[in-house]
Amino acid sequence: MTATALRTLICEDESLARQSLIELVEADARLELVGAAASGDEALKLIDQLKPELALMDIRMPGRSGIDALSASTHAPAVIFTTADPTRATDAFELGAYDYLLKPFGQARFTAAIDRLLARLGPVASQAPLKRLFVRHRDAIVPVRIADVSRLEAQDDYVLLHAPGGPYWCSLTLSALEARLDPERFVRVSRSHIVNLDRVARLIAHDARRLAVVMADGVEIVASRESSQRLRAAIA
């Protein structure tokens, strides 16, 4: 296993459970989401096509089961089962599963399972910056390229991603997303805003201490005093 973040595939047919797993994976810098399957047949296809290092696998899915998909695949990822079925643990561990998470489970249980997995696999280095997010939009889960996001705006317990076709709602916190973004491109300018420097049109004085960041779409964001100092230093 290379010292990089674990390339992770989610195999879950229930849309809400799938979205919950997507958010758990994207909040953990040790994991990199590479895809999501909604059926056993799709899981088999993506396991062999994407060759993930970790599969988060439901058991009962349309078509073949998660266990059948793993048995039929030529690639063998590390596996953590995420299921509401308490009766298949023996089968799961016979396949070499690293853990068996019974739904419903929260972030603490998920993180503990990843901790144990990584302790057995060895050290994992910091992950490369996030390239895409899978977010719920209308009645679907859609990918949003991070490079296309002009700014991220905190809205209560959610983050609003401003990008073409959006805006898109994400249930990760702004701080969690900030830790996964490329710091050369994305800068937090206030408690509630992170901006993509490639989408900044200009900086103007707001008052004696603070700058206003004017985005390419005309939106103006007042930077905090601390962020204004960093921005001034960057352009000095």
In the three-class reduction of DSSP (H, G, I as helix; E, B as strand; rest coil), residue 84 is classed as coil
186-190/193-196 β-pairing:
antiparallel
CB 54 within 8 A of CB 31: yes
Digitized pLDDT (tens) for each residue of the chain, 236 residues in all: 345 788 999 999 998 899 999 989 988 888 999 999 999 999 999 999 999 999 999 988 888 888 888 878 888 888 999 888 777 776 666 566 788 888 888 888 999 899 888 888 765 544 567 787 777 777 777 788 899 999 999 987 788 999 998 889 887 778 777 877 888 889 999 989 999 999 999 989 898 889 999 999 999 999 998 889 888 877 76
CB 10 within 8 A of CB 47: no
List the structure tokens of 75: 């690639």
Q: For residue 233, what is the enclosing H or E element?
A: helix 225-235
Q: What does 87-116 look like in DSSP terms, one character per residue?
A: T-HHHHHHTT-SEEEESS--HHHHHHHHHH
Give residue 49's pLDDT.
92
| Rounded Cα–Cα distance for residues 175 and 31 (Å) | 17
CB 66 within 8 A of CB 12: no
Q: For residue 174, what is the enclosing H or E element?
A: helix 174-178
In the three-class reduction of DSSP (H, G, I as helix; E, B as strand; rest coil), residue 161 is classed as strand
| Domains of the chain as residue ranges with CATH | 6-121 (3.40.50.2300), 145-235 (2.40.50.1020)
CB 222 within 8 A of CB 210: yes
In the three-class reduction of DSSP (H, G, I as helix; E, B as strand; rest coil), residue 209 is classed as coil
Listing from the earlier edge strand, what are the strands of the sheet with 151-155? 168-170, 158-162, 151-155, 193-196, 186-190
> pTM for the complete prediction?
0.55
DSSP secondary-structure letter at 5? P
Query: Which residues are 151's β-sheet partners?
Result: 162, 195
* Nearest CA among 11, 82, 94, 79 for reference residue 45: 11
CB 46 within 8 A of CB 61: no
| Rounded Cα–Cα distance for residues 49 and 43 (Å) | 10
- Give the dihedral sign, CA 130/131/136/141: negative
Number of neighbouring beta carbons within 10 Å of residue 13: 18
